[in-house]
Amino acid sequence: MPSSRDVVFVDGVRTPFGRSGPKGLYAETRADDLVVRVIRELIRRNPQLPPERVDEVAIAATTQIGDQGLTIGRAAAVLAGLPKSVPGYAIDRMCAGAMTAVTTVAGGIAFGAYDVAIAGGVEHMGRHPMGEGVDPNPRFLSEKLVDPSALVMGMTAENLHDRHPEITKRRADAYAVLSQERAAKAYADGKIQPDLVPTAIRTAEKGWGLAVEDEAPRPGTTMEGLSGLKTPFRPHGNVTAGNSSGINDGATGCVVAAREVAEELGLGAKMRLVSYAFAGVDPEVMGVGPIPSTERALRLAGLGISDIGLVEINEAFAVQVLAFLDHFGIADDDPRVNQYGGAIAYGHPLASSGVRLMTQLARQFGERPDVRYGITTMCVGMGMGGTVIWENLA
């Protein structure tokens, strides 16, 4: 029986994230081609990694049909030109798909089944809206297994506001403005661009082009501008398009490896996986998911929240981030949290977002050798949370 090995995050990249819809960056670009671009870039950026040494390709998608179907990890590996000997598979844990792809291959690496793997995710929400083609079992509602609002993410966010009246719409809007400001500063300071892979796009109207930056951020967002937005999930509600992540298209990917294999091949390792945890919560308040998953991951690592120097939390909705911060006694504007801004600015192409969090954390670790531990965490549709704790190798 092999003993457990250290697992390291070597490198991560992503396509720029586009807005979904007929006018979005990727309106006429295939989802699998976005993943192919990411895999090829990882191989290009890490020439010390012989492609035949990749033992697995795990790619997540929430809606596994059309150009996101056909066991997309294997299909994308073949399309990307990896040797046919490299296997691949598809994963689905809704928003935490890419995160689960990483933790799943990491378990295989720790066990000794793999040495090196590529893990990531893709979501083309313009081609495949969340829930396309699904047929929820009527027992969910007839037997009251979940509240009817559980299947509409925006309504689950309104439910969270109900449970936490101290999280006002004004607080949520202020957090959204902060996310946009931090994202704009990160772009201005050149923190995001190094991990973006320029991606070819084509439209019948304009011909060929190149996507080189995220389409969703709205620099210059103000409290006044947000205050007038509609609350589509409830009359006089709290959740708006401004204090939520958007509907987006994009792909992410990363190389993870056994620490000694990374050293043997001369691959730079940016962070070490310390622990991870997933947890279930009531689906109608899925936004609280990161709280129990983080508590469990901390317990498994023998750490406390005070040991965590950097936090990357997916901003599905501002209220969900604020509930997490309140629980752990962290201020709304704490500089440790989402230093480069988050999904409210960049967007949230569901299954791909987990690796965006990791890539941003790795970049911050490189700038902060004084910080030892950081976390990536997110809420997950159907009532879950996921958290990974990382150690800074810088």
Which residues are known catalytic residues? 95, 348, 379
**Do the bridges between strand 308-313 and strand 271-280 make them parallel or antiparallel, or are there none, so unpaired?**
unpaired
> How far, in Å, CA of 374 to CA of 367, rounded?
13
> How far, in Å, CA of 108 to CA of 98, rounded?
16
Residues found in the chain: 394
Task: Tell me the residue type at 119.
Answer: A
Q: Are 294 and 375 in contact (CB under 8 A)?
A: yes
Residue 101 DSSP SS3: helix
> How far, in Å, CA of 365 to CA of 386, rounded?
20
Q: Which DSSP state fits 229?
A: S
Residue 373 DSSP SS3: strand
256 CA to centre of own chain: 16
Residue 241 DSSP SS3: coil
Cβ neighbourhood burial of 97 (10 Å; 0-12, 13-18, 19+): buried
**Do the bridges between strand 56-60 and strand 116-124 make them parallel or antiparallel, or are there none, so unpaired?**
parallel
Q: Residue 258: left if φ>0, alpha if ψ -120 to 50, beta else—which one?
A: beta
Long-range contacts of 304-308 (CB under 8 A, 24+ apart): 305/329, 305/330, 307/372, 307/373, 308/336, 308/373, 308/374, 308/375, 308/389
Q: Which helix (H) or strand (E) holds 243?
A: none
Phi, psi of 120 (to 5 degrees): -175, -160
Task: Tell me the residue type at 32.
Answer: D
DSSP 172-202: HHHHHHHHHHHHHHHHHTTSSGGGB--EEEE
Q: Output b/e per residue, 316-332; b: 16+ Cβ within 10 A.
A: bbbbbbbbbbbbbebeb
**Do the bridges between strand 56-60 and strand 271-280 make them parallel or antiparallel, or are there none, so unpaired?**
unpaired
